[in-house]
Structure 1
Amino acid sequence: MKIRARSPARTGMAKEKEIKETDYQTWEFTGREYLEIAGISLGIALAVNLLCYRSWWAFAAVIPVGMVCFRTYRKNRIRKRKEELYDSFRDLIAWMHTALRSGYSMENAVLEAAGQMEQSLGKENVLVQELRRMRHKMMISVPVEQLFLDLALRSRIDDIETFASVLVIAKRTGGNVCEVFQNTWDIFCTRIDTMREIRAGVSSRRFEQNIMSVVPFGILMYVQISFPEFLDVMYGNPIGVLFMSGCLAVYLAAWVLGKKILEIEF
């Protein structure tokens, strides 16, 4: 059963263009985010200069520090957005399965699930926004399975891609869609619950890593305040610069390695 738009196709196309598709591999910074990250980068560069170099030329570190801060912030925002999409997708399958068992067509099941999820999760939820885009595209007769394939392509989440592929096969072969949804729901419940447990464990480890990342600077600041003569020989001479640069290189290598270990890919 296809859903036809009540308004002309031209109006449907205009509405569709107003809703921009999300590329889940990128992140668009707002002006406020630019200012916040620039301030954080400047603060880190000042702290590194004060604790390790005490020289005007070391202020150039704000450039690589800023690049790292922007890259780290972007990766974190992309990861959190994909986590929200992944966690909400299980609820979508549940609502669609309930609607299909009640006699709805696939297209109307998506609309019913969209309404229920908007009430429970709010309009700002990333998957609710995706369902709004789907609703506008279904009004111009875009196949629902194609919409899920497009979502899987943009999100690059394996489970969503698998669901979209199964949905395409079920629609083309005339399979039992309700049974497909039931099996998919069972698999998703197990996988998502397992992923949540992993993320909960990794979250505590991330917090520990953040604390340990600050500790070396805290120790260095304590020594400078309590026993400044111990570190005076490290500033203003080439040997001290090389030694401090080597320590920073080791610190950054350990920080990057910790981030890689605690990184979760979908």
Structure 2
Amino acid sequence: MRIRAGSQAKTGMAEEKETKGIDYQTWEFTGREYLEIAGISLGIAAAVNLLCYRAWWACIAVVPVGIVCFHTYRKNRIQRRKEELYDSFRDLIAWMHTALRSGYSMENAVLEAAGQLEQSLGKENILVQELRRMRHKMMISVPVEQLFQDLAVRSRIDDIATFASVLVIAKRTGGNVCEIFQNTWDIFCTRIDTMREIRAGVSSRRFEQNIMSVVPFGILGYVQLSFPEFLSVMYGNVIGVFFMSGCLAVYLAAWVLGKKILDIEF
């Protein structure tokens, strides 16, 4: 009975998630991800303790390091999922435009585009999953423009919100939908291509920042291995603790500033 109740509860949660859709501002961690973050946090905390303090009380550094790793991992996963959704959205508009020119209605154009996207991008693509959910909703007579408005609210991507607004206006006014989609697709192509170029340029800078973030610890480790007596005076005394803490504070401030400069938000 307990096993059956537990399975029913999991099924109910899955159905509720399918009904509400994905919240693109959150990320649900798996057990494996928790273990990975814990291992990375322990490794970083051990390295900081070994290179900067060499004291048992410095083991408490694993707590703030774990919080930072948890937050950074969550932010990166959310950003990657939104990038996948954003990059796939241009293909959706292109297929919808082609279907509308072929005489499909708006609803059937969405279904046709969903099938084409599933063939080209695969079932695991995040937008394909969204379109599969839209198809189920359309079967119970939910308006297609309402579904795209819901996606815009959950994703908080301005271009998707703009597309949803254009869709609402096109449905209400009954204008030339094909021409509206052609103009919208042209604008989206320009914006998405520009965003891809920016991300490509920033990715190399992020790689450089990651390398530079490791360099100070590498230099410190090299000095400790090559000239251990040179830094021995920095351990086991109050002055050394304050000096190393100040260096770490400056390092963390530079790391946070670099992250903020290279962040690209939709």
Q: Which category of TM-score, normalised to the shorter sequence, fits these structures?
A: over 0.9
Q: Which residue of 2 aligns with 1:149?
A: 149
Q: Which residue of 2 aligns with 1:24?
A: 24
Residue 77 (structure 2) pairs with residue 83 (structure 1): no
- Residue by residue over 1:17-58, the C-alpha shift from the partner in whole angstroms, topping out at 9 and shown as x without a partner, is 756611000111010000001000000000000000000000
Q: Which residue of 1 aligns with 2:160?
A: 160
Q: Which amino acid aligns with 1:78?
A: I
Looking at structure 2, the residues matched to 25 and 208 of structure 1 have their Cα atoms a distance apart, in angstroms, of: 28
- Residue by residue over 1:139-193, the C-alpha shift from the partner in whole angstroms, topping out at 9 and shown as x without a partner, is 0000000000000000000000000001101101111111110000000000000
Looking at structure 1, the residues matched to 152 and 17 of structure 2 have their Cα atoms a distance apart, in angstroms, of: 20
Looking at structure 1, the residues matched to 223 and 83 of structure 2 have their Cα atoms a distance apart, in angstroms, of: 41
Q: Which residue of 1 aligns with 2:10?
A: none
**Unaligned 5+ residue runs, structure 1?**
1-13
Alignment of 1:212-231 (within 5 A): 212-231=212-231
Cα RMSD for the two superposed structures: 1.2
Q: Which amino acid aligns with 2:224?
A: Q
Alignment of 1:46-195 (within 5 A): 46-195=46-195
Q: Which residue of 1 aligns with 2:196?
A: 196
Looking at structure 2, the residues matched to 193 and 139 of structure 1 have their Cα atoms a distance apart, in angstroms, of: 34
* Change in CA separation of 1:66 and 1:17 when aligned onto 2, cut-off 3 Å: closer
* Matched-pair contact (CA < 8 Å) for 2:93–2:185: yes
Residue 237 (structure 2) pairs with residue 237 (structure 1): yes
Using the TM superposition, give the Cα deviation of residue 135 of structure 1 relative to its aligned residue in structure 2, in angstroms: 0.3
- Residue by residue over 1:203-255, the C-alpha shift from the partner in whole angstroms, topping out at 9 and shown as x without a partner, is 00000000000000000000000000010000000000000000000000000
Q: Which residue of 1 aligns with 2:4?
A: none
**Paired residue secondary structure (1:141):** coil
* Matched-pair contact (CA < 8 Å) for 1:26–1:78: yes
* Change in CA separation of 1:244 and 1:123 when aligned onto 2, cut-off 3 Å: same
Looking at structure 2, the residues matched to 47 and 246 of structure 1 have their Cα atoms a distance apart, in angstroms, of: 17
Q: Which amino acid aligns with 1:192?
A: I
Using the TM superposition, give the Cα deviation of residue 16 of structure 1 relative to its aligned residue in structure 2, in angstroms: 8.1
* Matched-pair contact (CA < 8 Å) for 2:51–2:221: yes
How many equivalent pairs are there?
Answer: 253
Looking at structure 2, the residues matched to 18 and 90 of structure 1 have their Cα atoms a distance apart, in angstroms, of: 24
* Matched-pair contact (CA < 8 Å) for 2:49–2:58: yes
Deviates more, 1:166-175 or 1:209-218: 166-175
* Matched-pair contact (CA < 8 Å) for 1:114–1:131: yes
Looking at structure 2, the residues matched to 205 and 28 of structure 1 have their Cα atoms a distance apart, in angstroms, of: 29
Looking at structure 2, the residues matched to 16 and 99 of structure 1 have their Cα atoms a distance apart, in angstroms, of: 32
Indicate the structure whose relative CO is greater, using CA pairs within 8 Å and at least 6 residues apart: 1
* Matched-pair contact (CA < 8 Å) for 1:16–1:136: no
Percent of aligned pairs with the same amino acid: 90
**Paired residue secondary structure (2:87):** helix
- Residue by residue over 1:52-79, the C-alpha shift from the partner in whole angstroms, topping out at 9 and shown as x without a partner, is 0000000000000000000000110111
Q: TM-score, normalised by structure 2?
A: 0.93
**Paired residue secondary structure (2:179):** helix
* Matched-pair contact (CA < 8 Å) for 1:16–1:133: no
* Matched-pair contact (CA < 8 Å) for 2:100–2:106: yes
Q: Which residue of 2 aligns with 1:207?
A: 207
Runs of 4+ in 1 over 4 A off after TM superposition: 14-20
* Matched-pair contact (CA < 8 Å) for 2:18–2:133: no
**Unaligned 5+ residue runs, structure 2?**
1-13
* Change in CA separation of 1:16 and 1:95 when aligned onto 2, cut-off 3 Å: farther
